[in-house]
Structure formats: C-alpha cells, structure tokens
C-alpha cells in the first residue's frame, strides 16, 4: 500500500452524543464556579504560559464541557499554576482550582 499517497483524515467533529462528559460533571461538582464561565478568554490572554506553549485555558474548559478529553492532559501540563487567570476572571471562576481538579480527575 505504501507510496500511493492516500490517507484517511481523522474525524475532527465533536460527537456530543458519543463523548464522555462525566469528567466535566465531576469537575463542576467539585468546583461549581466553572459553571459561570462565559468563555471571554481573559484567562488565556493573561496566561504567562500561553505565550510559549499551546496552553489555552478558555479552550480547555470548552473542550472539557464537550467531553473532548484527548488533548486536555497534554495541555494541562503546561500550566504553572501561577493564578493570574483567577485575578482577571470577570465571573469569579476559580480557574486554578478548575485546572487542579481536572488534573486530579484525569488521574495525574
């Protein structure tokens, strides 16, 4: 088969019905302030780590709520837990604790 130059693209659609959203429900149960997130991106904008890595806190929260867990763990490793994101959040989400809780729930 080698050398034909054809390949299959991976499905990148979010299949909401098939995804496992239990981690999201456990995290929001332990840190309910996550429910107030309005995805404004203040956290991602102020993130020191995001300047050098793919860490995007806003997007991590979105992907978690959709049950898209594939890349979460990798990106969460880039967080330095400095807490700047908590200081800028306009909705009072305890962003650092959300990240710590996701890490725990994903069995770090």
Partner 1 sequence: MEERIAIIGGGIAGLETASQLSKKGFDVVVLEKKQITGGHVEQWHQVFPDFRDASEVLKNWNQHEISGQIKIGIDITNINKTNGLFQIELRDGEQITANAVVIASGFDLFDAHKKEEYGYGIYDNVITSAELESFFNRKREYLIKSGKTPQRIGIIHCVGSRDEKVGNPYCSKVCCITGVKQAIELKEIYPQAEVFCFYMDLRMFGLNYEDIYKEAQEKYGIQFIRGRLSETSELQDGTVLLKVEDTLAGKPLKLSVDLVVLLVGMVKGSVNNELKKWLGIELDLFGFIKPPDAILQPNVTNVPGVFLAGACSSPKNIGDTVNDARSAVLAVEKYFNHLKG
Verify binding: residue 14, partner 1, rule CB under 8 A.
yes
Nearer to partner 1, 8 or 107 (CB): 8
Give the nearest distance from C-beta 91 to partner 1 in angstroms: 7
Residues written for the chain: 108
Binding segment for partner 1 (CB under 8 A), chosen from 2-10, 57-65, 75-83, 95-103, is 57-65
Quote the CA–CA distance of 73 and 100 in Å, as a whole number: 11
Give the nearest distance from C-beta 5 to partner 1 in angstroms: 26
Q: Is 95 exposed, middle or buried (0-12, 13-18, 19+ CB in 10 A)?
A: buried
Nearer to partner 1, 23 or 62 (CB): 62
CA 93, chain centre distance (Å): 14
User: If we measure between CA atoms, which residue out of 71, 62, 70 comes closest to residue 43?
Assistant: 62
Please give the residue ranges that form the binding site for partner 1 (CB under 8 A): 12-17, 28, 32, 35-39, 58-59, 62-63, 65-66, 68, 91
């Amino acid at each position: 088969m080698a050398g034909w130059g054809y390949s299959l693209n991976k499905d990148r659609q979010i299949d909401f019905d098939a995804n496992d959203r239990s981690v999201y429900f456990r995290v929001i149960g332990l840190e309910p302030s996550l429910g107030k997130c309005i995805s404004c991106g203040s956290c991602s904008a102020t993130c020191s780590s995001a300047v050098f890595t793919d860490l995007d806190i806003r997007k991590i929260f979105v992907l978690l709520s959709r049950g898209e867990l594939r890349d979460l763990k990798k990106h969460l490793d880039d967080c330095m837990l400095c807490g700047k994101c908590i200081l800028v959040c306009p909705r009072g989400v305890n962003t650092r604790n959300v990240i710590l809780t996701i890490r725990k729930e994903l069995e770090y």
